[in-house]
Each structure stands twice: as structure tokens, then as C-alpha cells.
Structure 1
Amino acid sequence: MKFILSLFLLLYCTVSFSQDYYQSDIIIYGGTSAAITAAVQAKKLGKSVIVVSPDQHLGGLSSGGLGFTDTGNKSVIGGLAREFYHRVYLHYQTDSAWKWQKREEYGNKGQGTPAMDGENRTMWIFEPHVAERIFEDFVAENSILVMRDEWLDRTTGVRKEDGRIKSIKTLSGKVFEGKVFIDATYEGDLMAAAEVSYHVGRESNATYGETWNGVQIGVYQHRHYFKNPVSAYQIPGDPTSGLLPEISSEPPGVNGQGDTRIQAYTFRLAMSRNPANRVPFEKPENYDPARYELLARVYETGWDETFDKFDPIPNLKTDTNNHGPFSTDYIGKNYEYPEARYSEREAIIKDHEIYQKGLLYFLSHDPQVPQKVRDKMAQWGLAKDEFKDNGNWPHQIYVREARRMIGDYVMTEYDVLGDKEVPQPIGMGSYSLDSHNVQRFVTEDGMVQNEGDIGVHPKNPYSISYGTLIPKKSECENLLVPVCVSSSHTAFGSIRMEPVFMILGQSAAAAAVLAIESGLSVQDISYSKLESILLQENQILSLKY
């Protein structure tokens, strides 16, 4: 016992702790990919760190089903993010990695780039369990202390003195004291509890002089809308019969107008078509086929794109994403999520799960679905070797957007689209301004339509400002926020990609270390010193490097 305790103290020599009290240089709240890269960077720069994770599984969406990575221009992904994708590549170079499929049978299809890039020794497409193993390896190799299933007390759990967070307390009663804190959650719970300004929903176009913010009726930049007319009513054409399920009765608003609605959430499913590794789609509790009547009517119009986003990942699996006018996105059912209590969020997540499981059962069993679709769906099931402790269902819902900080610098679509020079760059993004649908409404002529889906491509990769990670100094001097960054809805639509979150997590940790060593607030550190550190750590900050 003494030997085990001595070993533990050696591993975490600069972390002080008692039964319910822990002290470290840096406290990271969250278990996302950004949280882990931040922790690794902090340890590399010689600081003690504790990851306080509400999650049991590390990696967020990267290990939660989103294996068909939204890379954009992969050349601007550097640092620990590139190291992650390099480790994915190394894993799939081994014969043992290909249990259900021969390597040469894998098509190497990626999201705008080949899945496997032999020249740069990176791989951008992967199975969920592979990603989780890499994050766990990062933790073990760097002797990072991770406290799992620890949920911030959002009511009284943040203690501040003189504009700085002194400690946070979790619902279990544990207290974590640090010099600098990093909120790496998808929801921004620590940021909110620390009374930092933030926004939920879409700003109006007038707020920042943007074009693609606010309500976007009639904007169809992907294929996720009702291309052919479909009546919104139980009896087609008869408003007195009532609306079909999954359609809002609220007016959609006026184009460019801000609202508190947020883009739809979903689960990114790992599905298998190998008979030995698939679990059939079961009928969920309280299954009601009537709630999928809209999809049946879409099929009646001749729509035939059911399988267009069954994106292949290794071993005959998919990362299954939303596609089309009625799909896995549960539109309009997540508006309360960002501010909801934990129990309320749990109910929202369960509601999404039931909806999506019902949809899978409908697609594979209901006679209103074309026979050829049902026959093909019969070849698929949930991957038996993924999420084994959760009934093969992802442990992380896709929180595409929740709170967004209003911080020292607000990124807008002008920054992303290259219309202005971004100050103090600490990483890069390149994906399109991408928002999934926000609402499903009734048009003036009684038809159903979706709204909110946009996809506007930047001309070039763009820099992300350090100011997006830091609150206003008057609100908090020792907090960094690399996920719920300071940006408009439209800019966040591009920033919100998993490789970028890893990049920003790493950069946030480097800034935290500088703040500690200089004795300054995170707002007052030397950018030139931060830039030097990030370049040494192989971050790519702008197109000039």
C-alpha cells in the first residue's frame, strides 16, 4: 500500500490533494478532445494539471461517433491535433486493426480529403474506440490526473475573489483549487457559473453586420430541405386536421432576425454491416410510427437519398450523419439544453435517443418505407464492438452549439471569410460556415419547410484570435474557454470542428502556463511569447507560416 501511494505521489508530485480537496496549477473542466490536448500541453510545459470531467469517456465527439472528421484544409491542422491523427494513422497500419475488413477493401473516402494520407502519415477517419484509446494513451503517457463523473455545482460551486476563480466544487463535494482554469465543455458550464458574458442562439445580422446570421428562410445551401411540396397537416391541405408531428406551430421569424433557437443535435452512430458485428435495430419503448409520417410523405415525392451520409469508417462501419429534409437531426427539440439543469439535459438527451432509435426502426420495418430502403437497412445494425457499456449507443450527443462566450474579441463571419485580418492568431480553421437546421415550420401555403441550414465556404483557411479564448478582464482574469469560444453563430459554425477544438485546447493551455509564470491575467500575457511557444509546439497560426 505504501509503495502504491508513493508511486501515485511521484506521478502527480505537484498536485496537492486530500480526500475532498485538490490543488493544481491548472484545472480543466470537461472531458472533450480540447480538454485532453490542453492537459497534455500543460504537462509538457511543466505545470501540474487536473482534468475534472463530468464524462466517464474521454474525447467528446471525437470518440463519441464523429469519426468521419470535418477537416476542411488539413494542412492547417498542427500541434497535438495532428499528433492525434498521426496516431490514428499508425493504428491502422497494423494488421490487427482490420478485424472486420481487409485494408485494401477500405475505400479511403474522407471529408474533402483522403481518409488515409500516407505522405503526411495522418489518417482522418476512424472508429470511435480507436479515438478513445488514443486519448487514454495521452493521459497515461503524461501522467495526467483525471477525475471522472465529477459534475460542477453550477449554483454555488465557483468561488471567485478579486475577479479570479479560486476554486470550483463538484456535486460530490470535491473542491479543486487552481491558478488558472480552462472550461473545455461543449456547454460552457464553468464559464456561465463564473458569471462570464455569453450568448445562446442566433444574433441578428445587424448585431455584427453579418449576412448569414439570424433567420434564413429560403436559404438552401445543402440538401436538408423539402425540395418538393409536402403538406404540414394530418389530412393534406386541411389545417383543421392539425399539424403532423415534428413540426413547430410557431412563426419562423423574419430573415436576419436574431432568436434563441439553436441548430439541431443528433447522435453520430457507429453502424456495422458485418453480420458478426451488428446489433439489429430494436423497437424502442413507446414507439409511435405516426411521428415519422413526414418521412413517409418525403418518400412519396420520389426522394431517394437515404444512405448518402452513411459515411464509411474502417471495418465495414459508418459514421452515420443527418441527411435530407427529415433525418437523424431532431430539429427544434434542443432549445432549452444549454441552460437546462442536469436532470433536464438528461431528459432532452433521452428524448433524442428515443426519436433516433424510432427512426431507425421505422426505416427498417415500416411498410410506408420503400421496400428497397427496408431491404438495405436490414443489412445494417449498431456496431457490436462500439460503446459496449452503453448498449452500443454513443455516450456523447452531438452538441453542435450551446453557449458562446462574449469575450475580449468576437469572431464573426468577416474573420472566417477572410474579409479582415485576425489579430493575435493562436490556431487556424478552414471549414465552411456550417449550421444545421434550426427549425421546421409551416409556410404560408400550408407546406412544411426547414430553416437554418447554411454552408458558406471561406476563400482560404483563416486564423483564430487569442481574444476568442478569453473573457473580458472585468469579468474573469484566470479563465480560458477553447470550445464555447467568443464568436457569432455563423463564425462558430466553422470553428466548431473537432480538430479545431484540439488546436484551441492546446493553445489555451500554453496561455495558461504563461499567465502563471508571469503572474499576469490571461488578458495581459505577452502575445509574442505565446506565439513563440505555439510555433515551437508546431501549431499553425496563419498562412504566412
Structure 2
Amino acid sequence: MKRRDFFRKGAKGVAGASLLSIAGPVSARDLGRNDRSKDNWYQVATGNMGIPQRQQTVKCDVLVVGGGMAGISAAVSSARNGVKTILIQDRPVLGGNASSEMRITVNGAPQERETGIVEEILIENWVHNKQQSYPVWDHVLYNYVTRQPNLQLILNTQAVDVLLNDNVIKAVKCWGLTNETETTIYAKQFIDCSGDGLMAAMTGAEYRTGREGKDEFGESYAPDRPDGWTMGDCIMMITKDMGRPMPFKAPDYAIPFDHETAFKDKHRRIKQVKEGFWWIEVGDDFDIIGHREDIRHKLMAYFYGVWDYIKNSGNYPEAENIALDWVGSIPGRRESRRFVGDYMLTQNDILKCRHFKDAIGFGGWSLDEHNPGGVENMTEPASYFHARSAEVYEIPYGILYSKNISNLSFAGRNASLTHIALSSTRVMATCSLMGQAVGTGASICVKKEINPRELRTKYMDDLQEQLLRDDVFIPKRPAMDKRDLARTADLMVGSSTLSGDVQLLIDGVSRDRDNEVHHWETDGLPAQLQLEWKVPVNISKVEMKGDTNVHRHLMMHKNPDKYIQKKQLLDVPPELIKKLRIEVRDQGKWVEVSNIEENITRSIKTTFAQVKTSAVRITLLDTWGYENAKLFEVRCYS
């Protein structure tokens, strides 16, 4: 009997089968986790018998479930925009597929890099982790999240039940895996960035799995008929050169590698022995979540079969001194649930670069649909790499909230996407942009006491302007913030100009596009930018966007040598402004209001006591390596 047939029959006719739970989601209370009536605890310190009290209730404005790159971006953006936020993660570390547990590279659009929160994190990693250690990367993420005001992080905690009123989520019950504590979290807005989307599924939110057929959305790369296949999971590895011959004996469960069949596809050929092979992958044609433990075991078995071939076939002499240093035990996942929003992004939206009025970011990865059977189907290519959009494509907000649960959003690979569209949007930097959008959107929803659908129909300008201010690039959507006092300045002048023009700093576009220049570059340092108003204005914030060269990669790699050859700098971008000073003119004298010595962000935001002034002077003192400084934007606010 095929596995798919077993589960179909089981769900209909095997109601008592212990392998199936057809009664719905199981909560911590259903499992008896907090029924402590039989707990036989003698407390030596007090001399009494007791019962552990490990239940708590907390409240926040926004709850984010899932601490991968999308979840981090959602939680940080929500908190930064002034609402109390809680982020829960069911693992001991942050990062999801990018963490030390899975070690997948934070890829994004190859045409031009994502900015905003994901870029901040990648740059910060080069400050604290030049050695490119994945365990240290975990702690860079931990530091980044835990220092944010308004944000509480709860690790080793899984959402196991939801409390609903009609189609509105009231609270989520969570189980602490390490502290045996049931936490009920009440919130106003809920965001599922967990990938698999268990919390969102328990609300009754509509979702789908498998592949749509060609006819449903007119997708040329979809199969002729719909089926249940999802792209597979994979595990990665890192090796070490020991400087002496290192023998290898495969574990008992290893599956021999059929290299003759595998190598018929150029993408499965072994080109290096330093890092993992993405094509060692196992998919599923029915329930990739329910079968995950079987998939994990198979992945390890197939991986060790490949490594046994590399080490013992004699065909890879370069591997003689190479030993395995780390092999993943938790599979990285590409696809499972895809929730249904008010819009579903498709192949045609991506390849035709459709313009969306509710755009919140962009993508650019190719339609990279992996072989549905993975390494168990080596008669087909490992991936089809169908096509790539001619330019970066827009991602609409309408795919990031639930169609039928009013206060539920999601971001990442569980967004409202077809299977083919997901094959592009699933990379983590793109998912991070989605996360920053839903976190920012949730904060607006809380403040205006609305839900995401109403935000999309009535307040998209508010969301887009805040995202642009926070350094998210939205193609074809320039910034037009009416509150920005820099736009009202009567004079703007730079002390020197090598390229561009100071007037471009208020044109609303925060990066150069193709042959369009949107910057002002100084001719040497130090250099000054001065803004003048004929009528004095009240100012308490000055904000700028500098240069990080968005056409250069920033991510960490398992095999950095390969990328050094491509001239990726494994350090803080040298173009980035490092030191600057801000002054305002007060009664004819310049008064310093901000001085920054070690800036590591492209978006530079300063806040100071409000002052009424007729001029602001910004002195750019130094970069992280370049002789000139480049700005793309300047803003002033009261």
C-alpha cells in the first residue's frame, strides 16, 4: 500500500488508529502536562509536600510565533514601531534554517540586495563573527533580538493550542519544553512565521499543500494535474582538512549512492568536498510534516552513502585528508503549509514583474523548483531552475494575512503562494522582508485598532511609508512622507561633490537603480551637508541612509574561500559611514546634538531633545574604509 493511500484510508476508516489524531489539535492540557495532582514532590528546603505551579498568563500587543529570519524581522519591526511584542521559538537558538542547527545560507535576490532588518543583522555578524562560526552567529541573533525595547523573547516554547472567538484569535497556549510551563499569551495581533504554521493551522486558517495544476492559475511550469508533492528537506555538512589521511567507515544505516544515475544530472555532480550538497533531499507526496522523522532518518542515510562514495571510491583524492566536522541532525525545510490570503502570488506575477499597489518588498531568486522526489527520484533533474524575472519583482501585502482569520498574519514560506511561486520566494532574505512588513503592519493595526485587511484597503500608504523610512526598498514606490521636514528645506548644500547631487537626497529613492543615480557622494572626507529653512522648524530626529553597495553579497558562508574568489568582502562594507556629527543652529551658534563613532547600519537614525532651528549641519567624518562618503537619503522630523 502506498503511503498516500494509507493515510487517506486511515483518515476515513481507522478512527482508532494510534498513529492518527483526527480529533483536532492536541493541547498541553489534553496531554496532561499540567495535571500535577499526582506529582509526588517532597521539598527538602521546606519539609513539605507540594505541587509545582507552572502556569502563567501574559499579555502583549503582538505575538510572533517562529524565530527564523522572518520571525526575527517581524518581531523587531513590531517592537521598534512602539508596541509590546513577544517572540516565541520552539528551539534553543534563533535563525531557523539559518541557525547552527541547519546552516543554510541567507540568500536573497541576486540582482540587488535586501536592506532593512536583514541587512542590519548580516552587517552586525561581520562585527562580532569574522571567523564565520555558526554557533557564534546564533548568539549574534540572540543579542540583536534581546536588546530591542518592547520585545520579549521566549525560547524552547511551542504554541500548542489557540483560543478563538468567532474568527478572532484571543490567545495562544504555549508549552515550555525546558521549564515545563504552560504560558497563555493574550495579544491583539498574531503572526505565524514558523514555516510549518502549526499555530495558524490550529485557528482554522485556510491553507493548502502540494502542487497546483497548470489550469488553476495558468502557470506553465506547474504539472498538468495537481498533486500532493512538496519540495524536500535536506541536511548540510561542514568538513575539516586534518593534514593527514582520514579514513571513513559509513554507519550501518547508510544507503549506497547510485552515482551513475545521479551524475547524469549536472547539478548532482560533486564539485567540492567542503560543504553540504543541497540535492541530498527527500520530498513527500502527501504529508511532509507528519513524515518528518522518517525523512530525517532517510536524509542521514543518503548523506552518509554519498560521503562513503566520496571517501572510499578513489575518485576524489582531494578528500583524502578531509574529515566530517559537522553534519546536521535537523532537516532544513523548503515547503509545507501555504496559507491562503486575500491574494495568492503566482508564477506569472513573478515572471511578468506585476506591479502591486500594496507592494511591501521584493524578490528575485529564480523559480527554483526542486525535483519533487529529491534524491529518491534521480531520473529527473535535482532542480528545474525554470526561469528568473527580468528584474526584481514586487511582493504584495495581500499574501501576508489570512483570508478567514481576521487578526492573523504570516510571513516566509507559509505565505499565500502557489507551489511554483514559492520556489522563488522561499529564500530567507526575501522571507525577512515579508517578516518586516507584517511586523510593521501589526504595529499599525494595534495603534489604529484595525486588522490587516482594513490596513490593506485603507492605510497602505502608512505601511509603505514606514517600511521605506525603515530602509525597506519597494520597487516603483518612492517615499513621499509629508512629515519629513527635509523636503521643506529652502536650501540644501554639500561641501563637496564627486558624483550625484544633494537634491537627490529627497527624491524618495534610496538606492541607485540601473543607470539612474539617486545619491550624493562627497569628494573626500570630512565633508558637510547643510539644510536651511527660512522659517525655523522644530526638529528632534535626523535620519540618513548611507551606502553598503547593494550589489555585493553580505551573507555568511560555510565555504568562504569560494566566495572570496568572487570578491565578496567578508567584513563590514567599507563604503558604510562610520563616524558623523550632527549640529543645529541655535541663536546663530552651532550646537552639537548627536555624535556617532561606530555606526554599523545603512539606515542611521538619531533622536535628541527637540529644538527650534533654522539649520541642520551633518558632518561626515569617516567610513569603514572608503575615502569618500555616499548618502542616498536625508530626513528630518519634529
Instruction: Give the TM-score, by structure 2 length.
Output: 0.60
Q: Which residue of 2 aligns with 1:531?
A: 464
Aligned residues, how many? Answer: 415
Residue 25 of structure 1: which of 30, 43, 61 is its match? Answer: 61
Q: Following the alignment from structure 1 to structure 2, what is the Cα–Cα distance between the partners of residues 302 and 532?
A: 46
Equivalent position SS for 1:463: strand
Residue 469 of structure 1: which of 400, 403, 407 is its match? Answer: 400
Equivalent position SS for 1:363: helix
Deviation at 1:456, TM superposition (A): 0.8
Q: How does 1:387-466 map to 2 (within 5 A)?
A: 392-394=326-328, 396-439=330-373, 448-450=379-381, 453-466=384-397
Q: Following the alignment from structure 1 to structure 2, what is the Cα–Cα distance between the partners of residues 38 and 320?
A: 29
Deviation at 1:257, TM superposition (A): 1.8
Q: How does 1:201-280 map to 2 (within 5 A)?
A: 201-214=210-223, 256-273=224-241, 275=243
Q: Is the 8 A contact 1:152 1:168 kept in 2?
A: yes
Give the 3 Å change call, closer, same or farther, for CA 442–287 of structure 1 in structure 2: closer
Q: Which residue of 2 aligns with 1:133?
A: 139
Residue 424 of structure 2: which of 479, 488, 494 is its match? Answer: 494
Give the 3 Å change call, closer, same or farther, for CA 481–167 of structure 1 in structure 2: same
Give the 3 Å change call, closer, same or farther, for CA 68–442 of structure 1 in structure 2: closer
Equivalent position SS for 1:435: coil
Aligned pair 1:329/2:315, yes or no? no
Deviation at 1:431, TM superposition (A): 0.8
Q: Kindly provide the amino acid, as one letter, of the partner of residue 138 in structure 2.
A: E
Greater relative contact order (CA < 8 Å, ≥ 6 in sequence): 1
Q: Is the 8 A contact 2:88 2:155 kept in 1?
A: yes
Q: Is the 8 A contact 1:28 1:182 kept in 2?
A: yes
Q: Is the 8 A contact 1:463 1:542 kept in 2?
A: yes
Deviation string 1:35-54 (CA, Å, 9 cap, x unpaired) is 11211112211221211211
Q: Kindly provide the amino acid, as one letter, of the partner of residue 145 in structure 1.
A: Q
Deviation at 1:505, TM superposition (A): 0.9
Give the 3 Å change call, closer, same or farther, for CA 297–522 of structure 1 in structure 2: closer
Deviation at 1:478, TM superposition (A): 0.9
Give the 3 Å change call, closer, same or farther, for CA 333–414 of structure 1 in structure 2: closer
Q: Which residue of 2 aligns with 1:360?
A: 307
Q: Which residue of 2 aligns with 1:193?
A: 202
Q: How does 1:53-68 map to 2 (within 5 A)?
A: 53-64=89-100, 65-66=102-103, 68=105
Residue 259 of structure 2: which of 292, 295, 301 is its match? Answer: 295
1 or 2, which has the higher strand percentage?
Answer: 2
Q: Following the alignment from structure 1 to structure 2, what is the Cα–Cα distance between the partners of residues 491 and 333?
A: 18
Q: Following the alignment from structure 1 to structure 2, what is the Cα–Cα distance between the partners of residues 163 and 262?
A: 29
Give the 3 Å change call, closer, same or farther, for CA 307–207 of structure 1 in structure 2: same
Deviation at 1:183, TM superposition (A): 0.3
Higher mean displacement: 526-535 or 168-177? 168-177
Deviation at 1:320, TM superposition (A): 2.0
Q: Runs of 5+ in structure 1 lacking a partner?
A: 1-16, 99-125, 215-255, 311-317, 384-391
Q: Which residue of 2 aligns with 1:507?
A: 437
Q: Following the alignment from structure 1 to structure 2, what is the Cα–Cα distance between the partners of residues 129 and 424?
A: 38
Q: Which residue of 1 aligns with 2:319?
A: 377
Q: Following the alignment from structure 1 to structure 2, what is the Cα–Cα distance between the partners of residues 141 and 205?
A: 47
Deviation string 1:503-531 (CA, Å, 9 cap, x unpaired) is 11111100000111111111102111111
Deviation at 1:147, TM superposition (A): 2.0
Aligned pair 1:169/2:173, yes or no? yes
Aligned pair 1:142/2:152, yes or no? no
Q: Is the 8 A contact 2:353 2:394 kept in 1?
A: no
Aligned pair 1:152/2:187, yes or no? no
Deviation at 1:308, TM superposition (A): 2.5
Q: Following the alignment from structure 1 to structure 2, what is the Cα–Cα distance between the partners of residues 303 and 85?
A: 31
Q: Is the 8 A contact 1:263 1:452 kept in 2?
A: no
Deviation at 1:167, TM superposition (A): 1.0
Equivalent position SS for 2:60: strand
Q: Is the 8 A contact 1:63 1:130 kept in 2?
A: no
Q: Following the alignment from structure 1 to structure 2, what is the Cα–Cα distance between the partners of residues 441 and 288?
A: 11
Q: Following the alignment from structure 1 to structure 2, what is the Cα–Cα distance between the partners of residues 129 and 335?
A: 34
Equivalent position SS for 2:112: helix
1 or 2, which has the higher helix percentage?
Answer: 1
Instruction: Give the TM-score, by structure 1 length.
Output: 0.70
Q: Kindly provide the amino acid, as one letter, of the partner of residue 413 in structure 1.
A: Q
Q: Following the alignment from structure 1 to structure 2, what is the Cα–Cα distance between the partners of residues 309 and 407?
A: 42
Q: Following the alignment from structure 1 to structure 2, what is the Cα–Cα distance between the partners of residues 420 and 25?
A: 34
Q: Is the 8 A contact 2:246 2:321 kept in 1?
A: no
Q: Runs of 5+ in structure 2 lacking a partner?
A: 1-52, 177-181, 478-508, 510-638
Q: Is the 8 A contact 1:482 1:501 kept in 2?
A: yes
Q: Identity rate of aligned residues, in percent?
A: 21
Q: Is the 8 A contact 1:279 1:382 kept in 2?
A: no
Give the 3 Å change call, closer, same or farther, for CA 303–202 of structure 1 in structure 2: closer
Q: Is the 8 A contact 1:442 1:449 kept in 2?
A: no
Q: Which residue of 2 aligns with 1:11?
A: none
* Higher gyration radius (CA): 2
